[in-house]
């Protein structure tokens, strides 16, 4: 029997009832299954896939169709975790109508259960219209990667009284517009705690300090699989990148030396069927192949 799904009402209840929300990114079925087995509450199909999966310098080129593709893969594997997807760059900014259409596509074709969009008060109407269509929305404030050029790079946001007060007001506006949660990225810890206390919806931080109602990390970051960028807020809970390198070296060495595959990894000739009369010979699948092995 499949475990009960984590729903939006349950995530909202975590604000007062706990425990804190543990959210991680996922981009494929295999990783989604492993992360869920580890207890992740929310699997975010992030447009960060542009950088960690596609090898791009930022998230801007990622398309809505690509988000749907990866969303379907994650959704197939997730039984308990809530599946959320990013609305990619220019899939919602042009108009609230476009935002509703794009969000609907992420649910209808991408298999997701909620969406996340970047931006403050300028996108309150977009949030309002999406939620009016019964699509749950997490809003994203602070360091918003889709605004990398406007911000002049990946820089901490909300420093200084004026910037902090504006972001605090943005949080209240987005809550009133219907967002069920807020993602706070790359802001001072004190501001993260202030926003968390000022709103009645849960906050999930990434580089926003321990005062948030939950945390999110890119899976390749906390697993130590993405060496090109190591932000201060990332803690590596494993070094799987080096483990992959070491395993590949061992594989290459055994292939080149001829020690792999050994007899243990090879198939024998198998039984031979003797023909009788005019009956055709039916070849049997060798061990390790066919329905008995799951293929």
Whole-angstrom distance, CA of residue 256 vs CA of residue 274: 39
User: What would the mean pLDDT of 13-31 be, rounded to a whole number?
Assistant: 98
With respect to residue 246, please indicate whether it lies within any of the assigned structural domains: no
Structural domain for 214, as ranges? 8-238
Whole-angstrom distance, CA of residue 61 vs CA of residue 48: 11
Ranges 60-69, 148-157, 281-290, most confident: 60-69
With respect to residue 273, please indicate whether it lies within any of the assigned structural domains: no
**Percent of the chain scoring above 90 in pLDDT:** 86
Q: What is the pLDDT of residue 255?
A: 98
Q: What is the pLDDT of residue 25?
A: 98
With respect to residue 275, please indicate whether it lies within any of the assigned structural domains: no
Calculate Rg over the CA atoms of the chain. Answer: 24
With respect to residue 269, please indicate whether it lies within any of the assigned structural domains: no
User: What would the mean pLDDT of 131-152 be, rounded to a whole number?
Assistant: 96
Q: What is the pLDDT of residue 168?
A: 98
Reply yes or no on whether the pLDDT at 119 is more than 60.
yes
Enumerate the active-site residues. Answer: 185
Whole-angstrom distance, CA of residue 48 vs CA of residue 54: 9
With respect to residue 276, please indicate whether it lies within any of the assigned structural domains: no
User: What would the mean pLDDT of 146-160 be, rounded to a whole number?
Assistant: 93
Higher pLDDT pick, 281 / 11:
11
With respect to residue 188, please indicate whether it lies within any of the assigned structural domains: yes
The answer to whether 201 touches 14, Cβ cutoff 8 Å, is: no
The answer to whether 239 touches 221, Cβ cutoff 8 Å, is: no
Whole-angstrom distance, CA of residue 215 vs CA of residue 205: 5
Q: What is the pLDDT of residue 163?
A: 97
Look up the CATH number of the domain holding residue 154: 3.20.20.60
Closest CA to 213 of 21, 7, 6, 1: 21
The mean pLDDT value of the chain amounts to: 93
Count of structural domains within the chain: 1
């Amino acid at each position: 029997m499949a475990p009960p799904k984590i729903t939006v009402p349950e995530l909202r209840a975590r604000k007062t009832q706990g425990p804190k929300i543990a959210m991680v990114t996922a981009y494929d079925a295999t990783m989604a299954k492993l992360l869920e087995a580890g207890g992740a509450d929310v699997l975010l199909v992030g447009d960060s896939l542009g950088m960690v999966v596609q090898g791009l310098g930022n998230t801007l080129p990622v398309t809505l169709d690509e988000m749907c593709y990866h969303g379907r893969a994650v959704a197939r594997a997730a039984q308990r975790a809530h599946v959320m997807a990013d609305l990619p760059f220019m899939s919602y900014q042009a108009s609230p109508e476009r935002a509703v259409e794009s969000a609907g596509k992420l649910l209808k074709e991408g298999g997701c259960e909620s969406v996340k969009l970047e931006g403050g008060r300028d996108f309150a109407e977009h949030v309002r219209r999406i939620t009016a269509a019964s699509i749950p929305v997490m809003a994203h404030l602070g360091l918003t990667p889709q605004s990398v050029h406007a911000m002049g790079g990946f820089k901490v946001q909300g420093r200084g009284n004026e910037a902090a007060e504006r972001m605090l007001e943005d949080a209240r506006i987005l809550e009133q517009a219907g967002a069920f949660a807020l993602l706070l990225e790359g802001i001072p810890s004190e501001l993260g705690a202030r926003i968390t206390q000022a709103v009645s919806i849960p906050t999930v931080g990434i580089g926003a300090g321990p005062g948030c109602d939950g945390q999110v990390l890119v899976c390749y970051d906390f697993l130590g699989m993405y060496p090109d960028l190591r932000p201060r807020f990332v803690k590596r809970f494993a070094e799987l990148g080096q483990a992959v390198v070491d395993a590949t070296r061992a594989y290459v060495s055994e292939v080149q030396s001829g020690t792999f595959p050994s007899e243990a990894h090879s198939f024998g000739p198998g039984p031979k069927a003797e023909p009788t009369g005019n009956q055709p010979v039916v070849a049997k699948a060798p061990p390790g192949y066919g329905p008995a092995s799951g293929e």
